[in-house]
A and B are shown apart, each in its own frame.
Chain A
C-alpha cells in the first residue's frame, strides 16, 4: 500500500529537489568524464559548482544583429518548462498539482523545450546556433509521436490521464513490466527531449556547440541548468508512469520515488556517456519506421489487455 505523505508537497520543495537532481546529474556526468580521462573522480563532484561560479562571473557575450528578446526568452524558457512539467510529477503520492489531465500537461510543457532550443539558436544570429535549432526541431518531430504514444499507453493502462491514478493502477504490476516497449520508447525519447547523450546533435561538437555556441556567462548557466533540470524531470516522470511511483517495502513512499528517480537519472547519464551521437537523418527514419509502429503495437496490446481485464 502506498502511504500518503502527511504534508502536501510545496512548490519550493519541488524546485529544490529538481535542482538537487539536476546538480547530481551534472556531477555524475563530470564524474564519468573524470573517470574516462583518468583524473581524480572525487574532485569531479564539485565540477558543476565551480563551472557555475565561473559562468556567473564571466562577461556576457553580445552578438551583432542578435534578436535579443527571442534569445533571452529561449534561454529562460528551458528551466521554466522543466519546472512547469515537474508540477504534476508526484513525490510518493503527492504532487504539487495532481491535475486531471496531468499527462497531457506534462507533454505540453516539455514540448516548450522545442521553442527554447530553437529560439536560442535563432536569436543568437549565428549559423551554428541556427543549424542546432533546426536539428532539434527535426529531432523533436522524430521522437515526439512515439513519446506521445508511450505516454498514452501508460494512461490507457490506468484508464485515466491523472498521474495519481496511473500510480494507483500499478499496485499489482508495474507498467514497466506490463508495457516494456512503451517504457523503452519513453527512455529513448527522454534522452532526445533533453538533447542528451546520443541525441546531443543540436548542441553537438561538430557545430561548435550548436544552439549553445553563443550563450556565455549567466545565459549559458541558465541553459545548462535548464537542460539538466529537464533531464531530471523526465527521469522523475518515468517513475510514476512506469515504475510504480512510490511503491516499495519498508521505506516511505517519497524515499522510494527519489531512489527510483535517481536510478533512472543515473541510467540516462550513463547512457549519455556510453553511446555516440546519432545523426539526425538516421534517427528520423528510426523514429518513424521502428519506434512509432512499436509504440502503436504496444498501445494495441495494452488496450486488448485492458478490455480483457
Chain B
C-alpha cells in the first residue's frame, strides 16, 4: 500500500516536472525541473528493487544536469526568464503528435496481453547485472565503452577551436604549447 502511494506520487511528480521543463521561462528552473523529473523517475526503479540502477540514475542525472545548466544558460537568449518569451515552432502540431503518441502507447499498454512473469527477482539484482555485462552480455559493455570513448574524442574535437598548430606553431616546433591558460602541471 505504502509502495503504491509512493509510486503514484513519484509518477505524477515526474510527469508534472517534465511538463514544467517546457512551461517555465527561466532556464535554470527548466534544468532543475528536468532534474526533478529524473529523480522522481528513479524512485520507481528503486521500488522495483533495482537499487544500483536507481542510485546510478540519481548520481548521473545530478552531474549531467549541472553540466547541462551551464550550456542552457550559455545558449539561451533569456536564461533567467526575466522577459517572458516563447521559443517554439508548430506548437499545435507538436501537441497533437505528442497526444496521439501517448494515446497509442497507452492503448497498447492496456490492450496488449503482457506475458506472465517467469521466475522471481534474484536476491541481488546488482550482482545479476554485473555478471551479465561481464559474462554473456559482455559485448554490450565493450560497445558501451567504445561508444563512450568515441564520444569523448568527438566532443573534444567538435568543441575546441584550437588544434596542434595553434598550440605548437606552424612547424610544430614550439617547445611549450601556447595556451591561453597555462594549467597546473608546470607547462
Contact = CB atoms under 8 A, between A and B. Distances in A.
Determine whether A and B are in direct contact in the complex, meaning some CB atoms lie less than 8 angstroms apart. yes
B66 interface: yes
Interface string B95-120: 00000000000000000000000000
A119 B62 CA distance: 13
Main secondary structure of the interface of A (DSSP, over half): helix
A101 interface: yes
A107 B28 CA distance: 24
Interface residues of A, number: 36
A282 B183 contact: yes
A141 B181 CA distance: 17
Contacts of B126: 100-101, 161
Main secondary structure of the interface of B (DSSP, over half): helix
Nearest to A142: B184
A270 interface: no
A56 to B, nearest CB: 28
B26 interface: yes
Contacts of A134: 70
A46 interface: no
Given A111-B59, A114-B66, A137-B70, A67 B28 contact: yes
Contacts of B55: 101, 104-105, 108
B51 A285 contact: no
A289 interface: yes
A101 B185 contact: no
Interface residues of B, number: 27
Nearest to A74: B32
Nearest to A112: B62
B59 A107 contact: yes
Interface in A46-79: 65, 67, 69-70, 73
Contact of A70 (B32, B58, B124, B182): B32
Interface in A255-280: 278-279
Nearest to A114: B66
A115 B62 contact: yes
B63 interface: yes
Interface string A109-139: 0011011001100100100000000100100
Given A101-B126, A284-B184, 13 more contacts: A65-B80, A67-B80, A70-B32, A99-B51, A104-B59, A105-B55, A108-B59, A115-B65, A119-B32, A161-B126, A278-B184, A289-B183, A290-B185
Please provide the 3 A-B residue pairs with the shortest distance between their CB atoms, ordered closest to farther: A282-B184, A285-B183, A108-B59
